[in-house]
Amino acid sequence: MKLFMKFFFILSLFPIFIGLMTNGHAQTKGEFIVNFAYAPEKIRQGDTWKIYLSVIDPEGNMHQVVCRIEQPGESYFKPSLIYLKKGMEKQFTGYFALYTQTFYELDDFVLALSILDRAGNVRKTLRFPLEFGGGEPMKPLPPDIERDLNRRIGMIDVDWNLGGGF
- What digits encode the pLDDT tens for the residues 16-60? 333 333 333 344 456 789 999 999 999 988 889 999 999 999 999
> How far is the C-alpha of 77 from the C-alpha of 159, rounded, in Å?
7
Show me where the domains of the chain are located: 29-162
Strands 109-117 and 62-70, sheet pairing: antiparallel
- What's the CATH number of domain 29-162, 2.60.40.2550, 3.40.50.720, 2.40.128.110, 2.40.30.10? 2.60.40.2550
Strands 122-132 and 42-43, sheet pairing: parallel
> How far is the C-alpha of 93 from the C-alpha of 141, rounded, in Å?
12
| pLDDT for 165 beyond 70 | no
DSSP state of 161: G
> How far is the C-alpha of 65 from the C-alpha of 149, rounded, in Å?
17
State residue 21 phi and psi, 5-degree precision: -70, -25
| pLDDT for 150 beyond 70 | yes
Please answer whether residues 52 and 149 qualify as being in contact, where contact means their C-beta atoms are separated by less than 8 angstroms: yes
- What digits encode the pLDDT tens for the residues 70-96? 887 776 788 999 999 999 999 999 999
Q: Which range has highest mean pLDDT (53-67, 68-82, 98-112, 149-163)? A: 53-67
Q: Would the pTM count as exceeding 0.85?
A: no
| pLDDT for 136 beyond 90 | no
